[in-house]
Amino acid sequence: MPKKVCSRFVLVLLLLLIGSTTYGQVLQLKGVVKTAEKQEAIPYVNIGIKKKNIGTATRPDGSFTLNLKEENRHDTLTFSAIGYNEISLPISSILSSRMSEFDLSEKITTLREVVISNKASKIKKFGTTSRNPFLYGSAETVHSEDISELGKYINLNNKASEIISATVYLRSIKRDSASFRINLYKNVAGMPGERLIEKSIIKRLPLTQGWVTIPLEQYGLVVDEDFFLGIEYLPEHSNHEKYIFIYGAALGGSFYSRKASLGNWEKGVGGRLAAYVTVRQ
């Protein structure tokens, strides 16, 4: 091969290798999320790139690590925590300024008063109350920072209701328990929307007995509209397994889920999550 042609070939190959390395470069973001007022760490803050199903949640000490691709450099990263104002920052700015501390200010909300009549109030259950699920699905993650959230549509028949508890079918053959957050979302065009109530409800739930009931009466959750009950698995960075647990389901209806913090909700048909709420009406 002539020397000029050989040199040109080597140069082209080198440029291709450099381009491939740049494109595949990992952008790692590390930091801690704190309260703006007291500079206290905020655990389990949802962090993600909206509409791209990329995200994580902070650890109990408020710290986080998120690995992104070079193609995400010009995206926006959003921080969302119950009871705090959401913030969104350009990833390019975070990288260039080497930002590692992120402050969230407390949200000031005016709660709409919902009154439950004391006259002949009744305890009722809404959702899928069948004690033996006919279907099962598995919740899985790819990376240690992934969440997994299941959604259940709850129709209260437009009656003011105090939520006493939530019950869901969860089981695992690998883990005895895991941490979950209970969320309530507004019904927006048949899909989970913004949070309905700003209450942080995080529980360690057993994964050995199937049906699990989470007491909620102490939180004073009173609503008068249909909503989505969210069961959000919170990642354990030190103990990552792709397979987390199985959930029960019943035939018919729709199923809702998402696999990343602030990610898109997906709707499936043919089955509905085995979960229900117990309320006082």
Dihedral class, residue 210 (left if φ above 0, else alpha if ψ from -120 to 50, else beta):
left
Mean per-residue pLDDT pooled into runs of 10, the chain (281 residues):
45 39 72 97 96 92 95 97 97 97 88 64 92 84 81 94 97 91 97 94 95 96 96 81 86 93 94 96 92
Residues of the chain with CATH 2.60.120: 123-280
Residues of the chain with CATH 2.60.40.1120: 3-104
Question: Which tokens sit at 128?
Answer: 């899928």
CATH 3.40.1160.10 assigned to domain 3-104? The reply is no
Residue type, 269: V
Question: Which tokens sit at 13?
Answer: 């190959």
What is the pLDDT, as a whole number, of residue 61?
A: 95
What is the pLDDT, as a whole number, of residue 218?
A: 96
Instruction: Please give the CATH number for the structural domain made up of 123-280.
Output: 2.60.120
CB atoms within 10 A of CB 211: 16
What is the pLDDT, as a whole number, of residue 69?
A: 94
What is the pLDDT, as a whole number, of residue 190?
A: 96
Residues 6+ apart with CB under 8 A from 69: 24, 25, 26, 27
CB 235 within 8 A of CB 261: no
What is the pLDDT, as a whole number, of residue 25?
A: 79
Looking at residue 111, what DSSP letter applies? P
Please give the Cα distance from 101 to 215 (Å, whole number).
35
What is the pLDDT, as a whole number, of residue 133?
A: 85
Please give the Cα distance from 13 to 8 (Å, whole number).
9
What is the pLDDT, as a whole number, of residue 255?
A: 93
What are the beta bridge partners of residue 178? 205
DSSP β-ladder status, 243-258 and 266-273: antiparallel
Please give the Cα distance from 104 to 252 (Å, whole number).
41
What is the pLDDT, as a whole number, of residue 143?
A: 72
- The 87-90 sheet, strands edge to edge: 54-57, 46-49, 76-80, 87-90
